[in-house]
Amino acid sequence: MSSAGYETVETDVLVLGAGGAGLRGAIAAAEAGAKVLVVCKSLLGKAHTVMAEGGVAAAMHNVAYQDTWEVHFADTMKGGKLLNDWRTAELHARESPERVLELERWGAVFDRTWQGRIHQRPFGAHTYPRLAHIGDRTGLELLRTLQDRAVHTKGIDVHMEVTAFRLFKTEEQIAGALAYRRADGSLILYRCAALLLGTGGAGKMYRVTSNSWESTGDGTALAYEAGAQLRDMEMVQFHPTGMVWPAGVRGILVTEGVRGEGGVLRNKEGERFMERYDHERMELSSRDIVARAINSEVAAGRGGPHGGVFLDITHRKPEYIKSKLPSMYEQFLKLAKVDITRQPMEVAPTIHYIMGGVRVDAETGASSVRGLFAAGEVAAGLHGANRLGGNSLSDLLVFGRRAGEAAAAFASSSGPRPTARLDPREIDDSVAALMAPVSRPTGENPYVLQAEIQDTMSKHAPIVRDASGLQAGLEAILEIRDRAQACGTGGSRSLAFNPGWHTALDLHSMLVNAEALLRCALARKESRGAHARSDYPKPDDAMGEVNFMVEKTPDGMAVRAEKRPPMPDYLAELVQHAYARYTPEERE
Amino acid sequence: MTATQISDLELRVWRGDASGGEYVAYRVPAREGMVVLDAVLWVQANLASDLAVRWNCKAAKCGSCSAEVDGFPRLMCKTPIAEYGSTVSVRPMKTFPVIKDLVTDVSWNYVVNKEIPPFTPSEKDSTSSEPWRMQQKDVERSTEFRKCIECFLCQDICHVLRDHSSKGAFYGPRFMIRIASLEMHPKDILDRRPLLKGKAGAGYCNITKCCTEVCPEHIKITDNAIIPLKERMDDVYFDPFRALTRLFRRGGRPF
C-alpha cells in the first residue's frame, strides 16, 4: 500500500476534460493570459467529441440563403420544448457562425459548396440545411483542430490519463482538486484560482449507449458535491438510431447524417412509419419524436428480427453514400457485415446525450459556486428538453470559449491566491476515500455494481417512464449506493493501471447522476421532449414554465422547481412566428 | 441480451509490465458478432479486474484500443473473433514501452506532434474579414490524411521504429501524414521540407508500405503522403540538375 502522499501542482485555470469544450476553454483562457492546465481521463485526442459525426450547426446561410440566427434560435427553442435557457440559446445561435469560421482559420477542413464556401447539410428539426461538416467525421476534425491549436498555444499544459476525484473550496470558492494518475495510482493535488468543467456526459449509467467508458458524469457529480446546482437532470436524449446487432456493437451510433442525406425509416411491413408521427418533417423530425416512434413501432410488434426498425439509404448511389457517409459504410460492413449501399440497417434508440447538468450563467458559464465554470455537455440550459443534432458541437465552441475567458478573468481578479489554505483534514479524508477500494480489494465487485446501475436505469428510466418504475429505480439506486460505499476493486491491490479500482471510483459519479435523473423525472409529472411519462402522457402548461434544480443538502439530494424568467418580446416573437409555420403536435 | 453463445474461446492475453510478463489464457464464452475488445472486457469484468487495456469509443473512431492480435497490429474493437479459430492471442504494441498488460507508453508521439509547426495561413488570409473560399477538390487532397484517428498502429508496424528503435531519427508514418495534411492544406503557406529532410527523417522510409496495410482508416500513407513528400523534398535537396552544376562548380560530390 502506498503511503498516499501527493504531489502538488499549481495553475491559474484548471480545466477538467479535453474534449471540445475543455480544449476551446483552455485556448480562450490561455489567450486571455492565464496559465492553464488541462487534465483528461484518457489520452489527448480520444475524447468523446470524436464520436460526433453529422456536423456543427451554425446559421451561415451558405446553402440556404434564408437562414439566420433568428431561425436557428427558434429551432433550438422549439426542439427543447421551450425548457431551454433562452439567453443561452440566443448567444449560441448568434455566435456559432463566427466560431465555425474561426475553426477553419485554425486549420479545420470542411466540405465545400460549388462556390467554395463551407457546405451545410440538412439535419433533424433544423429548418434549413445548417450543419457544416466533413463527411461523417466532423467531431474528429473539430477535436483534432482544437488539439493542435491547444498544444501550440503558450501557457497550456496537459496531464493525460489523470482522473479528478474531488474538488476543494476555500472561503466558499473553488481552490483545487484531488486527482489520481491512472498509470501508477499516484496522487496529485491541483491548486487553482478557477476551474472549468468540460467533462462531458453520463451515458454510461445506461446499458445500451453510444457513450464510452469515460462518460460517467464525473463533472456533474464533482460540482454537486462542491455545492453547485444541477438542472434538467431528467432530460436524457435517446438517439433514435443506434446499431442493434451484433450484441457486441449494440448502442453504437448511426449518424443522423444518414437521414440528413435522405435515409428513410421503415418497419418490418415496409411502411414508412414516420408519416404517422410527424407528417411534416418525417425522418428529420426532432430526435425525441423519432426515438419514441421507433420505440412504439417495436413495442407494437412491427420491429425487425433484432428489435429495431430499418434505416434505408440504398436509393442513393453507392459512390455518393461512400463519400458522404464513409465511416457508416465501413462500420456496418466491418461490424455487422451489412453493405449499406445495398441493404438497410437495423437500428433502435440508444442513450446518447444528457441535456441536464451543471446550472450555469449564460454569458460566462459560471456555476452557482464561485470559481467553478462549466461548458459543453456537462453544463445545462442550451438544449432544454431535447437537443437538436449539430447543436452540441456549436455548444462546445461558443460556450467553451465564453467559459474559458470568464474563468481566466475570474482567476486574475478574484480567484484565491495560491497560498490560500486548504483544509488539510478535508484533503486527508478525500485521499482516504480515494484509496479505500484498494485497501479492501475483495469487497463487492465494482463491475457487478456498475452493471446493476446500468440495468436499473435501462429498466426503470427508459424512453417512456412512469411513477412506479421511477420510484422502484430510485430505491434500487439508493441501495446500490450504500453497497458501493464498501466496494472493492475486484480482487487486486495494485495501484498500477488497475481498471477495477478506477471503476470503483467512477461508481459514485454514476450514482449521483442516476439519483438526480430519477428524482427529477419523478418530479416532472408531464411528458415533454425527451421526458415521456405513460402516467402523464400530455404536456402540462404549468410544468412547462419551470426547470427542476438539484442541490446537495444536509438531508441528502433535494429537487425544487424554479420558474424561468419570461422571454423578452423580441425572442418570444421569433418563437411564435416559428410555431405558426408548423403543425401543433410539435409543441409536445 | 438475445445473443447466442456459439462456443468457448481461449483468449491469451499478455500480462505484465516493463520488467517482463507472459501470456495468460482465459476461457471466454464467445457470442455471435463478438470482437476481440468484447472478449478482453469480458475477462476484465469477470476474471481479471486489474487487466489493463485502453479503449474509448468501441466504434473504431478514437484509436485507443490498438494491440497486436495474433501478432498483427489491429484495433481490437474492429476485429471480430470469428476471423480466428478457437484461440486468439493479444499482446501490447511492440514499438512502445509497456506500462502494464495491453497499455503502452505512447507519449513519444505527442512530443513529435508538438515539434511539427502548426497550420499557418498567409498574412493576407489570416487578416481578411471575408470567409475563405476553397474548392472541394482542393480540400480533398488533405482530407484523406485528416481521417487519421491516431491509433499509432502504423508507428507500431513501421520497421524503422519497431526493429531499429530509431525514434530519434524518424517521426514515423503517422507524422508523415500529419505533415502531408498541413502541406496539402490549400491555405497553408509554411515550407516543412527542411523539417522532412532533417529531424522528421523522411529519408528513413524505404517504402515497404506496411503502414498502409495496417491503417484502419485505409489511408494510403505511403502512396499518397510519404512518396509525394519525398518528391517535394527531393525537388529542393536532390535536384539532379543542381547537383550537376554544383559538381562542375566545385568539383565536389554531386549528392
Which structural domain range is residue A342 located in?
237-350
- Partner B contacted by A542 (CB < 8 A): no
Task: Give strand pairing partners of A120.
Answer: A132
A439 and A557 belong to one structural domain: yes
A441 and A557 belong to one structural domain: yes
Taking the C-alpha atoms of residue B99 and residue A27, their distance in angstroms, rounded to an integer, is 30
| A48 contact residues in B (CB cutoff 8 A) | 56-57
> Is A298 contained in some domain?
yes
The pLDDT value given to residue B224: 96
Q: Which of A22, A23, A366 has the alpha carbon at shortest distance from A194?
A: A366
Burial of B139 (0-12, 13-18, 19+ CB in 10 A): buried
Report the catalytic residues of A. Answer: 239, 259
The pLDDT value given to residue B6: 64
Q: Assess whether pLDDT exceeds 60 at residue B216.
A: yes
C-alpha cell at A72: 436557428
Strands (DSSP E) found in chain B? 5-17, 20-31, 66-69, 72-75, 87-91, 98-100, 103-104
Bridging pattern class, strands A56-57 and A162-170:
unpaired
The pLDDT value given to residue A136: 85
> Is B180 contained in some domain?
yes
Instruction: Express each pLDDT in A365-386 by its tens digit.
Output: 999 999 999 999 999 999 999 9
B229 and B117 belong to one structural domain: yes
CB contact under 8 A, A144 and B1: no
Final residue before a domain boundary, out of B61, B79, B103: B103
The pLDDT value given to residue A163: 98
Q: Assess whether pLDDT exceeds 80 at residue B34.
A: yes
Final residue before a domain boundary, out of B103, B127, B155: B103
Cβ-based neighbour number of residue A545 at 10 Å: 14
Residues composing chain B:
255
Taking the C-alpha atoms of residue B216 and residue B229, their distance in angstroms, rounded to an integer, is 22
Cβ-based neighbour number of residue B87 at 10 Å: 11
A341 and A457 belong to one structural domain: no
**Inter-chain CB pairs, A–B, below 8 Å:** 175
A337 and A438 belong to one structural domain: no
> Is A300 contained in some domain?
yes
Best of A27, A50, A60, A204 to substitute, by most chain B Cβ atoms within 10 angstroms, is A50
Q: Assess whether pLDDT exceeds 90 at residue B37.
A: yes
Task: Give strand pairing partners of A112.
Answer: A118
Strand order in the sheet with A345-354: A236-243, A345-354, A309-312, A264-266
Q: Of B2, B61, B99, which is closest to A327 when you measure between CB atoms?
A: B61
> Is A270 contained in some domain?
yes
- Partner B contacted by A399 (CB < 8 A): no
Question: Which A residues in the span 34-53 are in contact with B, Cβ-Cβ below 8 Å?
Answer: 42-46, 48, 50-51
Bridging pattern class, strands A13-16 and A194-197:
parallel
> Is A420 contained in some domain?
no
B219 and B116 belong to one structural domain: yes
Range A138-155 burial, b when 16+ CB lie within 10 A, else e: bbbbbbbbbbbbbbbbeb
The residues near A413 (Cβ < 8 Å, ≥ 6 apart) are: none
Looking at residue A193, what DSSP letter applies? Answer: S
CB contact under 8 A, A183 and B99: yes
> Is B37 contained in some domain?
yes
Instruction: Express each pLDDT in A73-98 by its tens digit.
Output: 999 999 999 999 999 999 999 999 99
B22 and B125 belong to one structural domain: no
A406 vs A260, more confident: A406
CA distance B236 to chain A (A): 26
| B63 contact residues in A (CB cutoff 8 A) | 46
What distance lies between CA A326 and its chain's CA centroid? Answer: 24
Q: How many domains does chain A have?
A: 2
Q: Of A46, A110, A119, which is closest to B64 when you measure between CB atoms?
A: A46
| A144 contact residues in B (CB cutoff 8 A) | 146
The residues near B251 (Cβ < 8 Å, ≥ 6 apart) are: none
Final residue before a domain boundary, out of A350, A381, A408: A350
In this structure, of A105-109, A323-327, A507-511, B176-180, the range with the lowest mean pLDDT score is A323-327
CA distance B255 to chain A (A): 36
Taking the C-alpha atoms of residue A152 and residue B113, their distance in angstroms, rounded to an integer, is 10
CB contact under 8 A, A107 and B99: no
Q: Using omega within 30 degrees of 0 as the cis cutoff, is the peptide bond preceding A446 cis?
A: no
User: Distances from the Cα of A112 to the Cαs of A47, A50, A115, A124, B134, in angstroms?
Assistant: 26, 21, 8, 21, 7
Taking the C-alpha atoms of residue A478 and residue A484, their distance in angstroms, rounded to an integer, is 10
Q: DSSP for A506-560, please give it.
A: HHHHHHHHHHHHHHHHHH--S-BTTBEESSS-S--HHHHTEEEEEEEETTEEEEE
Instruction: Express each pLDDT in A218-246 by its tens digit.
Output: 999 999 999 999 999 999 999 999 999 88
B73 and B177 belong to one structural domain: no
Q: Assess whether pLDDT exceeds 90 at residue B236.
A: no
Strands (DSSP E) found in A145-219? 156-159, 162-170, 173-181, 187-191, 194-197
Compute the mean pLDDT over every residue in chain A, rounded to the nearest whole number.
Answer: 94
The pLDDT value given to residue B59: 87
The pLDDT value given to residue A3: 46
| A336 contact residues in B (CB cutoff 8 A) | 33
CB contact under 8 A, B45 and A451: yes
A346 and A445 belong to one structural domain: no
CB contact under 8 A, A498 and B35: no
> Is B48 contained in some domain?
yes
Nearest CA in chain B to A183: B99
Final residue before a domain boundary, out of B103, B120, B140: B103
B149 and B33 belong to one structural domain: no
> Is B254 contained in some domain?
no
Q: Of A51, A250, A491, which is closest to B57 when you measure between CB atoms?
A: A51
CA distance A214 to chain B (A): 7
The pLDDT value given to residue B218: 94
Q: Which of A388, A255, A394, A266 has the alpha carbon at shortest distance from A324?
A: A255
The pLDDT value given to residue B85: 87
> Is B252 contained in some domain?
no
Instruction: Express each pLDDT in A187-207 by its tens digit.
Output: 999 999 999 999 999 999 999
The pLDDT value given to residue B252: 55
> Is B96 contained in some domain?
yes
Determine the Cα angle at A213 with ends A212 and A217, to 5°. 95
Q: Of B46, B52, B150, which is closest to A499 when you measure between CB atoms?
A: B52
Compute the Cα dihedral for A457, A459, A465, A468 and give only its sign: negative
B116 and B90 belong to one structural domain: no
Strands (DSSP E) found in A393-509? 464-465
> Is A260 contained in some domain?
yes
pTM of the entire predicted model: 0.95
Regarding an ipTM greater than 0.95, the answer is no
CB contact under 8 A, B57 and A336: no
Q: Are B44 and B65 in contact (CB under 8 A)?
A: no
B205 and B115 belong to one structural domain: yes
CB contact under 8 A, B118 and A152: yes
Given pLDDT bands bounded at 50, 70 and 90, which one contains residue A584? very low
Q: Of A107, A115, A331, which is closest to B59 when you measure between CB atoms?
A: A331
B118 and B99 belong to one structural domain: no
CA distance B214 to chain A (A): 15
Compute the Cα dihedral for B30, B31, B37, B42 and give only its sign: negative
The pLDDT value given to residue A114: 96
- Partner B contacted by A106 (CB < 8 A): yes
B80 and B49 belong to one structural domain: yes
Cβ-based neighbour number of residue A264 at 10 Å: 18
Given pLDDT bands bounded at 50, 70 and 90, which one contains residue A417? low
Q: Are A579 and A82 in contact (CB under 8 A)?
A: no
Task: Give strand pairing partners of A373.
Answer: A196, A366
What is the radius of gyration, based on Cα positions, of chain A?
23
A345 and A463 belong to one structural domain: no
Q: Assess whether pLDDT exceeds 90 at residue A579.
A: no
> Is B251 contained in some domain?
no
In percent, the amount of chain B with pLDDT more than 90 equals 80
A331 and A451 belong to one structural domain: no
> Is A174 contained in some domain?
no
Q: How many domains does chain B have?
A: 2
Best of A53, A140, A149, A507 to substitute, by most chain B Cβ atoms within 10 angstroms, is A140
CATH number at residue B28: 3.10.20.30
> Is A299 contained in some domain?
yes
B90 and B151 belong to one structural domain: no
Taking the C-alpha atoms of residue A543 and residue A561, their distance in angstroms, rounded to an integer, is 9
CATH number at residue A525: 1.20.58.100
Best of A102, A112, A455 to substitute, by most chain B Cβ atoms within 10 angstroms, is A112
The pLDDT value given to residue A157: 98
B135 and B193 belong to one structural domain: yes
CB contact under 8 A, B188 and A107: yes
Instruction: Express each pLDDT in A276-328 by its tens digit.
Output: 999 989 999 989 999 999 999 999 999 999 999 999 999 999 999 998 898 89
Taking the C-alpha atoms of residue A574 and residue B206, their distance in angstroms, rounded to an integer, is 62
Q: Of A51, A149, A489, which is closest to B49 when you measure between CB atoms?
A: A489
The pLDDT value given to residue A53: 85
Nearest CA in chain A to B104: A183
| B50 contact residues in A (CB cutoff 8 A) | 489-492, 494, 497-501
Range A86-123 burial, b when 16+ CB lie within 10 A, else e: bbbbbbbbbbbbebbbebbbebbbbbbeeebbbbbbbb
CATH number at residue B111: 1.10.1060.10
CB contact under 8 A, B3 and A44: no
Which structural domain range is residue B62 located in?
5-103
Q: Assess whether pLDDT exceeds 50 at residue B1.
A: no
CATH number at residue A277: 3.90.700.10
Cβ-based neighbour number of residue B93 at 10 Å: 22
Question: Which A residues in the span 110-139 are in contact with B, Cβ-Cβ below 8 Å?
Answer: 110-112, 114-119, 134-135, 137
The pLDDT value given to residue B227: 96
Q: Assess whether pLDDT exceeds 50 at residue A2.
A: no
C-alpha cell at A340: 449499406
What mean pLDDT is predicted for residues B32-46? Answer: 94
Instruction: Express each pLDDT in A326-347 by its tens digit.
Output: 889 988 998 888 999 999 999 9
Taking the C-alpha atoms of residue A23 and residue A150, their distance in angstroms, rounded to an integer, is 7
What mean pLDDT is predicted for residues B145-165? Answer: 95
What is the radius of gyration, based on Cα positions, of chain B?
22
The residues near A341 (Cβ < 8 Å, ≥ 6 apart) are: A313, A314, A316, A318, A321, A322, A329
B147 and B230 belong to one structural domain: yes
| A213 contact residues in B (CB cutoff 8 A) | 55-56
CB contact under 8 A, B143 and A50: no
Best of B56, B132, B140, B143 to substitute, by most chain A Cβ atoms within 10 angstroms, is B56
Task: Give strand pairing partners of B14.
Answer: B23
The residue type of B240 is: P
SS (H, E, C) A388-405: CCCHHHHHHHHHHHHHHH
B168 vs A308, more confident: A308
